Structure 1
């Protein structure tokens, strides 16, 4: 009986946790190209700073990984490469200077309910909300848990 219960428990975890192979440099240096990661498909409430996997709004056959920068009802602005949320500078220790050379600007925008603003940690090489707009919550397919095999 114990074996059956443990098997069921592990099979439930297996359904919730999904391995993925990362293709791309948008999340460097946090996650590198060809890293093998684990993603939780039953992720609950999302928070600013969470790394998520989602279907691209413009082409839902494409799967992307980015970080949540702004939440519903937030006001976001980018000045000289620095992100401001509700008029306060966002602390982003995960963005290294060598990956943020473009020093982009973006006018203030309000995030509507049910949407997120996402960006890659490699700001110079990320196709994210700055290019294609807001991410609807229903396109989020999972939340990053960990890297279990790094390509570095």
Structure 2
């Protein structure tokens, strides 16, 4: 074998090794995305102040087991869930919209199967018992509230002890007084923390089947304000929210009582 032949063999082997590494990396990424964690971005303000538009977060796919909605492109290969684990009250969940499963929504679980849910004068009732609710101050920061004025903040504490903050944009909104919703077996009642600006189970979203749950929101890994894209690197110095990077969705910082 000549020197040139040896060189050609070495080049060929190097290319093959590179392709092998690339394929293995793609397969690993697919497995992680399908079975473990999937990135999502927040496109609307319905979960303010907990989640903001421009937040990018990881959703744990394994938290509730797997349905066909857990798979890329949601192929209808099987029904129900495997290795199922039910969500807890207060979990922030990504789910497929029951009326259009091509659309992902993110809301908080407030009603479990068999619960009676109602809003009365802005207070959440679960099984005819009011959820603890206390005003803790106000936020005067349009990046958090989308309002150019101070907005009242209320902290709710669910029966299982999960606490979170909600915004009250208006004292008499259409969702502040509702009928009683009786959550069917195998379904969940979802609400946004931005109570006066959330399309959720009080309205057209309705009850969400267990099968439609994609996963539980866990970690904010990136956040950028002003409607900027993460690819617009030149906007990072002014618009990136450094205090939200790598924070739990249940501990994302926001400012009460100031700018």
Q: TM-score, normalised by structure 1?
A: 0.85
Instruction: Determine the C-alpha separation between the residues in 2 that align with 1:73 and 1:100.
Output: 29
Offset at residue 64 of structure 1 (A)? 0.6
SS of corresponding position for 1:52: strand
Offset at residue 76 of structure 1 (A)? 0.9
More off after superposition, 46-55 vs 142-151:
142-151
Equivalent residue number for residue 214 of structure 2:
141
More off after superposition, 84-93 vs 52-61:
84-93
Instruction: Determine the C-alpha separation between the residues in 2 that align with 1:29 and 1:101.
Output: 19
1:79-90 paired onto structure 2 within 5 Å: 79-90=120-131
Query: Which structure dedicates a bigger proportion of its chain to strand?
Result: 1
Equivalent residue number for residue 39 of structure 2:
19
* Kept after mapping to 2: 8 A contact 1:100/1:122: no
Cα displacement string for residues 92-131 of structure 1 (whole angstroms, at most 9, x for unaligned residues): 2421334776262111221111001101111111111111
Offset at residue 71 of structure 1 (A)? 0.4
1:1-152 paired onto structure 2 within 5 Å: 15-44=35-64, 45-91=86-132, 92=156, 93-98=164-169, 102=173, 104-132=176-204, 133-151=206-224, 152=241
Unaligned runs of 5+ in 2: 1-24, 65-85, 133-155, 157-163, 225-240, 242-259
Give the 3 Å change call, closer, same or farther, for CA 21–100 of structure 1 in structure 2. Answer: farther
Instruction: Determine the C-alpha separation between the residues in 2 that align with 1:109 and 1:97.
Output: 22
Instruction: Determine the C-alpha separation between the residues in 1 that align with 2:111 and 2:170.
Output: 20
Once superposed, what is the RMSD of the aligned Cα atoms?
2.1
Q: Please identify the structure whose Cα radius of gyration is greater.
A: 2
Unaligned runs of 5+ in 1: 1-6
User: Which structure exhibits the higher relative contact order, with contacts defined as CA atoms closer than 8 Å and separated by 6 or more residues?
Assistant: 1
Q: TM-score, normalised by structure 2?
A: 0.51
Paired residues, what number? Answer: 144
Give the 3 Å change call, closer, same or farther, for CA 28–112 of structure 1 in structure 2. Answer: same
